[in-house]
């Protein structure tokens, strides 16, 4: 019954027994479906594990490739579901099907390799790198007219003379410089015992982004990521078919 559902039909197409490679866009569609349609996760798990139990080497191979991509790019809950039925994948590590008339044991070896890769993705730990972007130091943003540093290259102003400016926008805090984002004029610079210019009055802004800037950047990154992923899947599929040939 699972294969009669729309997602079941899509899985059948992605794991067809024909030797043509699975189109890269299908990996993206299945991964996105698992993220947006959580109610179908159980159906996806059952369909793929049933396809993995097939006696056809091509169906098994394509199924393990799909499972690998879903473990890496799909819903983490689906990854957990696969782990409960992982024995089917483990059994394929020793798969010995009928030799191909022309390729011999090559298709069977591809199945074993794909099963190994699927297990590796299944039990891999997801690493989320948290990065923080700090702006306002250098490049014409933040305090004064440019950056911190006598030459505009970062660091702290070295002259410390009141109102001094370097040719590239450095020279410490203040000096009558204007913050490019807020238009706030910094107070006149004064010298301390370390010879560093420090603004005596005025306000500072560290080049904060507006909310709409963050939204636009996020959309661009998401679109770029999907395009890159689709190209990688097409390349992977072509390489896989070359292995069969």
User: Between 184 and 43, where is the model more confident?
Assistant: 43
Cα four-point dihedral sign 199, 200, 203, 206? positive
User: Between 43 and 244, where is the model more confident?
Assistant: 43
CA distance 161 to 146: 17
pLDDT in tens, 166-220: 444 444 434 444 444 444 444 444 444 444 444 444 444 445 677 777 788 888 8
Amino acid 231: pLDDT = 77
Token pair, residue 51, equals 């396809």
Amino acid 245: pLDDT = 60
CA distance 95 to 93: 6
Amino acid 97: pLDDT = 84
Q: Is 178 left (phi over 0), alpha (psi -120 to 50) or beta?
A: beta
- 36-40, 115-119, 225-229: range with lowest mean pLDDT: 225-229
CA angle 138, 143, 144 (to 5 degrees): 100
User: Between 142 and 55, where is the model more confident?
Assistant: 55
pLDDT in tens, 52-72: 999 999 999 999 999 999 999
**112 pLDDT tier (thresholds 50, 70, 90):** very high
pTM of the model: 0.52
Residue written as token pair 């039925």: 85
Token pair, residue 147, equals 């950056």
Amino acid 235: pLDDT = 76
């Amino acid at each position: 019954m699972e294969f009669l559902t729309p997602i079941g039909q899509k899985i059948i197409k992605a794991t067809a027994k024909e030797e043509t490679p699975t189109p890269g866009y299908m990996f993206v569609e299945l991964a996105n479906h698992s993220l947006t349609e959580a109610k179908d996760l159980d159906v996806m798990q059952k369909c793929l594990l049933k396809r993995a139990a097939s006696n056809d080497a091509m169906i098994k191979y394509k199924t393990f490739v799909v499972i690998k991509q879903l473990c890496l790019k799909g819903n983490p809950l689906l990854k957990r579901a696969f782990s409960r039925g992982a024995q089917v994948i483990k059994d394929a590590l020793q798969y010995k099907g009928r030799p191909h008339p022309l390729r011999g044991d090559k298709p069977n070896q591809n199945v074993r390799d794909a099963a190994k890769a699927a297990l590796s993705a299944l039990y891999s730990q997801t690493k989320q790198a948290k990065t923080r972007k700090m702006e306002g130091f250098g490049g014409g943003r933040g305090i004064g007219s440019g950056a911190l540093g006598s030459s505009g290259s970062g660091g702290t102003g070295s002259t410390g003379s009141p109102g001094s400016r370097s040719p590239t926008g450095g020279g410490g805090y203040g000096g009558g410089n204007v913050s490019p984002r807020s238009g706030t004029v910094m107070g006149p610079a004064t010298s301390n015992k370390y010879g560093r210019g420090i603004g005596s009055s005025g306000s500072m802004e560290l080049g904060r982004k507006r909310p709409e800037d963050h939204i636009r950047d996020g959309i661009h990154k998401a679109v770029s990521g999907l395009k890159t992923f689709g190209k990688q899947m097409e390349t992977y599929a072509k390489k896989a078919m070359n292995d069969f040939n």
